[in-house]
Chain A
Amino acid sequence: MTNSLAISPQERAYLAQEDLESFWYSRLQKKDPVARIGYAIWVKDVDDLKHAITTGDPVYWNQRGFAYWELMARSTVVNLAVGLQKGGFRGTVGETRQQIKRVGLRVADWHAQYVHNDYQDQIGQVPGLLSLKQMADYHHRAFQEFNIPPSYYGGTWFGSIPETIQFETYGHLYCHDCDSSEGYQGVRP
């Protein structure tokens, strides 16, 4: 770790601006392990993700390539969509995307607060570096805020692998540079 893992004023500004891609990219530069999936989910240009992985430290990327992290990101988005529905959320694809963004914001908010406390209190071996348990802990907090069942965290990196039918139903929610729902007929459970 060459950079301090503390939350920087710039990272706070990114969160205040709801700019998740820049927030997680900044964390990626510090080798924050949670940033790998965070950036994979919120990056707008998929080539940027490919570039980050192919030019990055293989140990940091856990010896996994682009296909793996892209699948994890896609699975997470599908999982969140299903989890939101299980928790009572109903909406069009645009509304579902917006709600997933809100969950993403809360996850990032909690991440920043946990990193800050970890850094200030010198928890663990590396200040500012979270453990798997701390990461699971704050995801539960964020999920509970949206009534997403706790079981939707776990199974793979960030959620049980969705069923094929769920991929078919919700897979289009994960797409880069797409913020239009033009022509979409609505999510049908």
Chain B
Amino acid sequence: MKKILFIFTGSLIALLAYAFSGNSTDKAPQVFCPPKDFVVNLNIPPEAYTDKNFDVSDDEELALLMFPPEYVAESIENYQPYLESTRTGRLRAPLHVNVRKSSHFNWHINPDHARALPHGPDLYTDTDEEEFGWRVSSFDGEQFHPWGRCSDDFNGSLSCFRDLKVGKLWLKYVVQAENIAYYPEIDAFLTEHVTAWRCDSKQ
């Protein structure tokens, strides 16, 4: 039984790899060529597709990347690769990055209601404190720029989904409260890697 499932799973991974390659029927050129060691293959079980209770997936995502926490900490001084929590114990803090062709940004915060987030430099929200999630913008001294979303992490702190534009690509990564202060360094780290992994930069 396991062998059959292994074959099914292998076929699925091959299909996903084909899909992520950009080599679809529209003959679109492949734009993003990350090293396979950093690419996460989602093992969605084949039988799951018989279940019609789930929503449809969009086709905007090019890849899901994972940078091990130790690797990130080597490059970013003060990045905390492990997080301690009384609720869930010690957690690793890798950088998972969704690489997409578009973002879901469709909002701007109201400057009149903006208040600073305590965890990060120059980050502001206009969402009520009691809400589960808050839309967050950065402030460059003159105007606000959409930054991402943060929400309660059920442990007295927060975690954030950061949306970052690199060239024509949109990156979405999660950063926990302990590392939010270093988001400019994380942005630079990801920009450097993703730019180097453009297919045309390898030719």
Contacts and interface: CB of A to CB of B under 8 A. Distances in A.
Interface residues of B, number: 49
B92 interface: yes
A117 B132 CA distance: 10
A16 B9 contact: no
Interface in B111-150: 132-133, 135, 149
Interface stretch (B52-60, B71-79, B181-189, B190-198): B52-60
Interface in A1-39: 7, 9, 12, 15-16, 18, 31, 33
Interface stretch (B21-29, B30-38, B152-160): B152-160
A14 to B, nearest CB: 10
Interface stretch (A43-51, A152-160, A167-175, A177-185): A152-160
Given A18-B87, A117-B149, A144 B92 contact: yes
B15 interface: no
B66 A31 contact: no
Nearest to A36: B53
A62 B58 contact: no
Contacts of A18: 87
A12 B42 contact: no
A62 B48 CA distance: 10
A145 B92 contact: yes
A99 B87 CA distance: 11
Interface in A101-125: 102, 105-106, 109, 112-113, 116-118, 120-125
Interface string A129-160: 11111111100110011110011011111001
Nearest to A126: B55
Given A125-B56, A141-B96, A154 B174 contact: no
B54 to A, nearest CB: 5
B48 A105 contact: no
A62 B42 CA distance: 22
Given A121-B104, A155-B5, A156-B45, A135 B159 contact: no
B176 to A, nearest CB: 10
B1 A161 contact: yes
Contacts of A163: 2
B40 interface: yes
B79 to A, nearest CB: 15
A59 interface: yes
B65 to A, nearest CB: 11
A137 B94 CA distance: 14
Contact of B2 (A140, A144, A150, A160): A160
Given A16-B154, A120-B135, A155-B2, 13 more contacts: A9-B132, A99-B89, A113-B161, A121-B104, A124-B57, A129-B55, A140-B96, A144-B66, A145-B92, A146-B92, A151-B43, A154-B44, A160-B6
Interface of B: 1-2, 5-6, 9, 12, 40-45, 47-58, 61, 64, 66, 87-89, 91-94, 96, 98, 104, 106, 132-133, 135, 149, 151-154, 159, 161, 174
20 contacts: A15-B154, A16-B154, A18-B87, A62-B51, A99-B89, A102-B87, A102-B88, A109-B154, A112-B132, A117-B161, A121-B106, A123-B55, A123-B58, A131-B58, A137-B96, A140-B40, A150-B43, A151-B43, A154-B42, A155-B6
